[in-house]
């Protein structure tokens, strides 16, 4: 195995089909891609995709190579946009692999480190090397899902314990995060969707089980995101049901108070008129009125309880 090979020796290296050339370019400039295009005769549209951010993962087939776009996910709860992506562009040839990324990717770094110590990854063809890089990207999705699952559990507990205003913001943040996460993962499934039958790119027979396992991982991630989406929607419905129930309780109490004060207001309004009222000058009149109002209140409360309104 050789490192830091002169690109001018590319034809000599690729002439032997048993050789495998891997070129990793970090923070590529337009000049770097121009040199790469001259060496490998890549299509201008593929190089344009390398310079621009592609919103969706994809695979394009050209005459003698394939061009891939994958996205690694960055997760930061403290940020307003909790989900961000780092793009990885890959050219896959018969015996070469070229990776281009503008941000450091741990999945690529791990494979580079393994290649320093063993030749195993480089001996089974470029598709096997591609699998390990993409598998590293997909493996990084699982801790993110685990953390989102913990947040959903905490949210469900908080709804019943302390249904505060901040819960609405947390629900909306989780819904946005899950939606963006699924938007990143779902297109990558379509790249490997036909691995069991018609292949969207060439895979050696011995490496096929690895890609089938990759498809299983992506399916598991998408199923989990769908479950999380349903849980968050259910939590939101539960939260609004609790808030609605509390509002109904408040409205019921206020309605009872209004119903009780209505006849009292009527009575005080009559006796408060500037007209001659029988026994108005008696010392006991006020106390009889108050006693009558207390009896009326007691009767109304008894009637409300009997009808289970309170």
Write the pLDDT tens digit of every residue in 118-136. Answer: 777 777 888 888 999 999 9
Q: Which domain holds residue 293?
A: 252-306
Residue 219 has pLDDT above 50, yes or no: yes
Asked if the model's pLDDT at residue 223 lies above 90, the reply is yes
The residue out of 196, 220, 244 marking a domain boundary is: 244
The pLDDT tens digits of the residues spanning 55-80 come to 888 888 888 889 999 999 988 887 77
- For the record, the structure tokens of 92 come out as 């896959």
Residues 180-190 as b or e (16 or more Cβ within 10 Å = b): bbbebbebbbe
What is the rounded CA–CA span in Å between residue 110 and residue 126? Answer: 16
Considering the domain architecture, whether residues 223 and 282 belong to the same structural domain is answered as no
- What whole-number distance in Å separates Cα of residue 250 and Cα of residue 148? 34
Q: Do 92 and 126 contact (CB within 8 A), yes or no?
A: yes
User: How far is CA 152 from each of CA 19, 142, 171, rounded to the nearest angstrom?
Assistant: 49, 15, 9
- Compute the CA torsion angle 78, 79, 84, 86 (nearest 10 deg): -80
pLDDT at 195: 47
CA distances (Å), origin 247, targets 159, 237, 241: 15, 15, 10
The predicted structure's pLDDT at residue 141: 92
DSSP state of 17: T
Residue 223 lies in a domain: yes
3-state helix, strand, coil in the chain (%, to 5): 60, 10, 25
Tell which wins on pLDDT, 273 or 216: 216
Domain count, the chain: 2
Indicate if 261 and 170 belong to the same structural domain.
no
Which of 33-47, 149-163, 277-291 is the least confident region? 277-291
Residue 1 in any domain: the answer is no
């Amino acid at each position: 195995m050789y490192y830091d090979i002169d690109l001018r020796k590319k034809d000599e290296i690729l002439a032997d089909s048993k050789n495998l050339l891997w070129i990793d370019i970090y923070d590529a400039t337009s000049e770097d891609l121009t040199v790469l295009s001259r060496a490998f005769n890549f299509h201008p549209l593929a190089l344009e995709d390398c310079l621009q951010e592609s919103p969706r993962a994809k695979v394009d087939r050209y005459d003698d190579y394939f061009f891939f776009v994958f996205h690694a996910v960055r997760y930061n709860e403290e940020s307003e946009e909790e989900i961000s992506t780092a793009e990885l562009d890959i050219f896959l040839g018969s015996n070469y692999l070229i990776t281009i990324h503008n941000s450091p990717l741990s999945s690529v770094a791990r494979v580079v480190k393994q290649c320093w110590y063993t030749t195993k990854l480089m001996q089974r063809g470029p598709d096997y090397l591609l699998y390990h890089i993409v598998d590293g990207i997909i493996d990084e999705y699982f801790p993110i899902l685990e953390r989102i699952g913990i947040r959903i559990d905490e949210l469900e507990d908080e709804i019943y314990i302390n249904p505060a205003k901040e819960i609405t913001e947390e629900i909306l943040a989780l819904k946005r995060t899950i939606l963006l996460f699924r938007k990143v993962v779902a297109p990558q499934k379509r790249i490997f969707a036909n691995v069991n039958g018609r292949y969207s790119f060439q895979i050696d027979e011995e490496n096929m089980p690895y890609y089938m396992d990759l498809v299983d991982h992506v399916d598991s991630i998408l199923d989990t995101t769908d479950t999380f989406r349903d849980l968050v929607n259910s939590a939101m419905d539960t939260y609004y049901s609790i808030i609605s129930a509390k509002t109904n309780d408040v409205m019921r109490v206020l309605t009872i108070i209004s119903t009780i004060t209505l006849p009292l207001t009527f009575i005080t309004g009559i006796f408060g008129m500037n007209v001659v009222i029988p026994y108005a000058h008696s010392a006991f009149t006020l106390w009889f009125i108050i006693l009558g109002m207390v009896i009326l209140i007691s009767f109304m409360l008894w009637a409300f309880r009997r009808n289970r309104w309170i």
